[in-house]
Amino acid sequence: MHAFAVATKSLSLARTNDERTETRKLLQELELVEHGFEHGQERRCALATIEGRDLAVIIPSYTGHLDLWARLIGSILLSLALADESACAFRTVRYFTIVSNLKEKIAFRDRLLYLLRAKSASSRETEFPILTLHEVLLLTGEAPATSDAGTDAYFNQPPEVNIRFKDPSATLLDLYPTAAAPFNKFWYQSIKKMYGCLAVGTTDGVCFALDSEGFVIRGSLCETATAYFRAGKTVYYAETEYIVNLNRILLGGLHGKEFGEFYAMESYHWIWEVSEVRAFLREGLIGKMPLLAKSQWLKDQTPMIEEAFYHYVYPRRHEFGYRFVDAYARVREVLGPTTWRNVEGAMRVLDGQYRINPDPSITELTRRTSLLENLGFFARAANLTGSDLSKISKIYSEDGILMTTCHYPSGAEHNELKTRSHELMEKLVANLQICVSTENIALPSSALPQ
């Protein structure tokens, strides 16, 4: 048997009676049904409606982001108290936090209980389950060890065996043949996100993956997910020189129409159907994520698993019911030619800085000049006005993407720049509901109180 196949098989441990008992107990506690890779019917086309379906919000986190996570959960609790329930079409909504180990689970649960008391929230603790990565992988049948400590060690220590396999480019990938650096945290969080969806999402359900450094401005996460589906599941892309070639390799060396020659994550809206995630993990990637993440070749790479997912979806977009939209063409249309030339000029400056910068920390991940993802930078560099950002906000809203990053513009450490930043942010988020993936959030005055 091929070495990679042996490794993959060893990763999916045959369940002992104790493991089966632990899994059943966990399912009962979470009020879930078992539906990992080998469970449930595979649905090969998008459902026409979302009414009556379940929404699982997936929040990967760790101790270093505990305070940011608490800020996010606090905003969710407040949003639930103020939200318009008629704007939510899902049958149920639950908020799952995926942490690294039992020690983190205890710390996060203590903070959750504090938040529930402090906010006088009507929400129950069972609406906000906290799972370890081991529990998630146990539910999907992919746990690399029989205990939480064992799984935690697997992701923080080199494996004992040297496994070799070929990628589509015929490059040999060595899985830690000798002692090497610890696990890549970006893989770690990506696994929590993807396998968390598979573990707790219902068969015909929907997952909303959200980094812990986010914040609900207004409305609710359910409203946001509802709007996204009703507008047609839009993905913004940009036809630039920047292509995430790592993701090309992870998907089997695809090119052209089978991959989509563009950058596929101009905005962070990770709202996926469980069946799509299941197909991506089972059929799309060249191997299982927990094993690929241990690769000597991949360990220093920074996967953007969400971007890889959209490249998997692209040739199946009609089957899955997605709409891919050229973000730059969309923005150019509303800003007009003169303002767009200023934006293009700022892009060339930033791209030039990356090209000449010898800093090894400037990796494939950071060598990109995506407009919407880095809108704070371009707002200042291209001298965008409040009117410009209002137009972009309207685009987001029309396409059902009610979320954006809310960074201060580059260099906004001075008070006068922060003031202008807030003024611009007010315009940008006027039609939106969530600040995503932003540690230093320039919260508008219209946001929910912290």
**Cβ-based burial of 24 (10 A; exposed 0-12, middle 13-18, buried ≥19):** exposed
Q: Is the pLDDT of residue 256 over 60?
A: yes
Q: Is the pLDDT of residue 92 over 80?
A: yes
Q: pLDDT value at position 157?
A: 72
Q: pLDDT value at position 300?
A: 61
State how beta strands 323-326 and 215-216 pair: unpaired
Amino acid (one-letter) located at 82: L
Q: pLDDT value at position 29?
A: 75
Least confident of 111-125, 140-154, 222-236, 288-302: 288-302
Q: Is the pLDDT of residue 350 over 70?
A: no
Q: pLDDT value at position 240?
A: 73
Sign of CA dihedral 220, 201, 192, 256: negative
State how beta strands 434-435 and 215-216 pair: antiparallel
Where would I find the beta strands (DSSP E) of 118-243? 130-132, 164-166, 172-174, 206-209, 215-216, 234-237
Q: pLDDT value at position 118?
A: 86
Q: Report yes or no: 252 and 166 within 8 Å, Cβ to Cβ.
A: no
pTM of the complete model: 0.85
Selection from 346, 60, 404, 386 nearest residue 217 by Cα: 404
Tokens at 302, concatenated: 């920074």
Q: Which one has a higher pLDDT value, 384 or 72?
A: 72
The band of 45, judged by pLDDT with boundaries at 50, 70 and 90, is very low
Selection from 216, 220, 22 nearest residue 131 by Cα: 22
Q: pLDDT value at position 81?
A: 87
Selection from 411, 401, 407 nearest residue 425 by Cα: 407
pLDDT mean across residues, the chain: 79
Average pLDDT rounded to a whole number, residues 33-42: 43
Q: Is the pLDDT of residue 385 over 70?
A: yes
Tokens at 189, concatenated: 């969080």
Q: Which one has a higher pLDDT value, 322 or 378?
A: 322
DSSP 170-181: --EEE--SS---
Q: Is the pLDDT of residue 411 over 60?
A: no
State how beta strands 434-435 and 403-404 pair: parallel
Tell me the domain boundaries of the chain. 327-435
CA–CA distance, 58 with 38 (Å, rounded to integer): 21
Least confident of 42-56, 59-73, 271-285, 300-314: 42-56
Average pLDDT rounded to a whole number, residues 413-417: 55
Average pLDDT rounded to a whole number, residues 15-34: 68
Least confident of 186-195, 230-239, 290-299, 412-421: 412-421
Q: pLDDT value at position 43?
A: 41
Q: pLDDT value at position 49?
A: 73
CA–CA distance, 183 with 160 (Å, rounded to integer): 14
Selection from 148, 58, 135 nearest residue 97 by Cα: 58
Which single residue is written with the structure tokens 């103020």? Answer: 82
